[in-house]
A = this chain, B = another copy of it.
């Protein structure tokens, strides 16, 4: 079953199980409260997961998009911040509910695997010595997870600031700006009028990574 079919199945199940439950809305930039014994499912939008290093730097741990789970029970880290990157709608589930519904658990297994694959990919990127390689791999990962094919190339449906790129890649904002410019100059990406990034040659970006 394809990723997209699995997501569709999960969405239908959630609608069936939680028809009466209200989604919680958070505006872009808002912190999302995390409580024990609760898991949020991203219904719409994108959530950034991060921790704060003792140095004061923020380290990106993941981006939770459509139907991905997040919650305190899914991390060992402290502090652990979940922040809405875009406007988001979230569905709240309790660990009890998950444990008592085998169908829910089954769908959740696949969504957990998506988060695991992403975390592993970020780990592989973190091990790269050159920032330009990390940036290329990160763009490819974003396109893989949150991209849509268009006539202009794959459009990344996530708008991150250069500072957010810098936090994700362990570098500075200035360096991100410089290397995005370089990738644009080399014809690998384009920045749309909507400030979204388009990947013109995803395979060349992938080749620079471990994907």
User: Is A194 at the interface (CB under 8 A from chain B)?
Assistant: no
A53 close to chain B: CB less than 8 A? yes
Q: How far is the CA of A102 from the CA of B117 in the complex (A)?
A: 22
Query: Closest Cβ of chain B: how far from A200's Cβ, in Å?
Result: 21
Q: Is B116 in contact with A77, judged by CB distance below 8 angstroms?
A: no
- Determine if A28 is an interface residue (Cβ-Cβ < 8 Å): no
| 9-residue interface stretch from A16-24, A127-135, A153-161, A172-180 | A127-135
Could you tell me if A211 and B76 are in contact, using CB atoms closer than 8 angstroms? yes
| Residue count of chain A within 8 Å CB distance of chain B | 50
Residue of B nearest to A62 (CB): B120
Contact of A53 among B52, B54, B117, B210 (CB under 8 A): B210
A113 is an interface residue with CB less than 8 A from chain B: yes
B75 touches A117 (CB 8 A): yes
Q: Which single member of B55, B60, B62, B211 contacts A77 (CB below 8 Å)?
A: B211
Enumerate chain A interface residues (CB-CB to B < 8 A).
1, 49, 51-55, 57, 59-62, 73-79, 98-99, 102-103, 105-106, 108-109, 112-113, 115-124, 126-129, 133, 141, 144, 170, 208, 210-211
10 contacts between A and B (CB under 8 A): A54-B208, A59-B124, A60-B123, A62-B120, A74-B117, A75-B117, A76-B120, A77-B210, A106-B106, A116-B119
